[in-house]
């Protein structure tokens, strides 16, 4: 067996129907007595519910979390934190809200409890991506890792199927890259394969019946597994491209991951052992890149960056940016090859598998 390192990250997880009801108990476990509640404008009713459960422990709220964690929004939230004398953070929602909670934790050291309502997996990582002046910068620090996560399947039952599919494909991307990451190890690879398999089984069922509680629970479990993978290893080409596209052109996060993933896998097909494990998890004899492309089409996921608002004139700029500071990757990062990849993703063409 190969030599490897594995670091247990200090996050307490509570998984199951009704987990939100234990929110005040989990806040008290961390010693917090004055918390700020974070959501997006679309989830204010969830903030209301959390504040009801927290009672007098909830002393502030901020409901303007935004995609790609703009630093200007973080500064506004920090003002609320300081004004209220907050000693803990509760974020409820998807990657935008969790990202804001992480950004506050990074700057204050306050404990962060998160309640995910999508399948993005950010809650299980010490990674934060922030945007400023059209650039997205990612960093990894222990203080960014949320201290507790409440996975409540009840909160995902109303997640629209389109968002369910794209956030699920986003999570699959975390597991895929873990299988060929430079820091990969047998434990992470086992979790990655299980996470991909969970989504490959759950997403088609949800597409047929969005109210399928068992499929929702399986998808949420997959999100936990895939997010844990991302928290253990570094990122490769796929995440670099998506962060470049999202930060530079303001493209929606999960949808961008859905479009780029099959093309990034095709680019990295030289990592043959990883490709075998991806195919096995998907339950397919096809090349994994093509299988994921077809799965996305079956589920109604977007296939073209142009449909997300990406200008064709920005393809060369994106290739330049991604090639300028590449992540470790199984295949060398070649600027012209990246542009060819992006052109296929922009047009919605199948990956070159």
pLDDT at residue 353, rounded to an integer = 66
Summarised one tens digit per residue, pLDDT across range 50-71 is 999 999 999 999 999 998 899 9
Summarised one tens digit per residue, pLDDT across range 2-45 is 677 766 667 999 999 999 999 999 999 999 999 999 999 999 99
What DSSP line would sit under 189-227, residue for residue?
HHHHHHHHHHHHHHHHHHHH-TT-HHHHHHHHHHHHHHH
Summarised one tens digit per residue, pLDDT across range 167-194 is 999 999 999 999 998 888 899 999 999 9
The answer to whether 116 and 94 are in contact (CB under 8 A) is: yes
Confidence of residue 271 (pLDDT cuts 50, 70, 90): confident
Identify the sign of the CA torsion 211, 302, 140, 47: negative
Summarised one tens digit per residue, pLDDT across range 322-353 is 998 778 899 999 999 999 999 999 999 999 86
Domains with residue ranges and CATH for the chain: 12-156 (3.40.50.1970), 161-347 (1.20.1090.10)
Summarised one tens digit per residue, pLDDT across range 122-163 is 999 999 989 888 788 889 999 999 999 999 999 999 999 999
Report pTM.
0.91
Find the mean pLDDT for residues 275-284: 96
Angle at CA 338, nearest 5°, toward 334 and 339? 120
Nearest CA to 200 among 179, 221, 229, 228?
221
Distance, CA of 151 to chain centre: 15
Nearest CA to 92 among 142, 170, 31, 146?
146
Tokens of 27: 């806040």
């Amino acid at each position: 067996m190969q030599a490897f390192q594995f670091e247990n990250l200090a996050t307490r997880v509570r998984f199951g129907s009704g987990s939100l009801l234990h929110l005040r108990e989990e806040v008290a476990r961390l010693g917090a007595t004055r918390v700020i509640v974070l959501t997006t404008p679309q989830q204010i009713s969830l903030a209301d519910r959390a504040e009801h459960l927290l009672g007098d422990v909830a002393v502030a709220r901020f409901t303007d979390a935004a995609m790609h964690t703009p630093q200007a929004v973080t500064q506004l939230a920090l003002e609320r934190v300081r004004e209220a004398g907050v000693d803990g953070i509760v974020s409820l929602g998807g990657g935008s809200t969790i990202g804001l909670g992480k950004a506050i934790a990074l700057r204050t050291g306050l404990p962060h409890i998160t309640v995910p309502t999508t399948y993005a997996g950010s809650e299980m990582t010490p990674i934060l991506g922030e945007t400023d002046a059209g650039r997205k910068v990612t960093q990894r620090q222990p203080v960014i890792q949320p201290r507790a996560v409440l996975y409540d399947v009840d909160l995902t039952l109303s997640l629209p199927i389109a968002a369910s599919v794209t956030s699920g494909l986003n999570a699959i991307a975390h597991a895929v890259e873990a299988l060929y990451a430079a820091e990969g190890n047998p434990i992470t690879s086992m979790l990655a394969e299980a996470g991909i398999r969970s989504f490959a089984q759950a997403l088609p069922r949800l597409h047929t019946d969005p109210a399928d509680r068992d499929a929702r629970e399986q998808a949420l479990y997959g999100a936990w597994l895939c997010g844990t993978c991302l928290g253990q290893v570094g990122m490769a080409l796929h995440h670099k491209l998506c962060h470049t596209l999202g930060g530079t052109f303001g493209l929606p996060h999960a949808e961008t991951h859905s479009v780029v993933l099959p093309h990034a896998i095709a680019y990295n097909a030289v990592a043959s052992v990883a490709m075998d494990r991806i195919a096995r998890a998907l339950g397919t004899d096809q090349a994994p890149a093509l299988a994921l492309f077809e799965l996305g089409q079956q589920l109604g996921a977007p296939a073209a960056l142009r449909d997300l608002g990406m200008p064709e004139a920005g393809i060369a700029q994106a290739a330049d940016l991604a090639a300028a500071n590449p992540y470790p990757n199984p295949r060398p990062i070649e600027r012209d090859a990246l542009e060819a990849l992006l052109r296929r993703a922009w047009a919605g063409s199948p990956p070159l598998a």
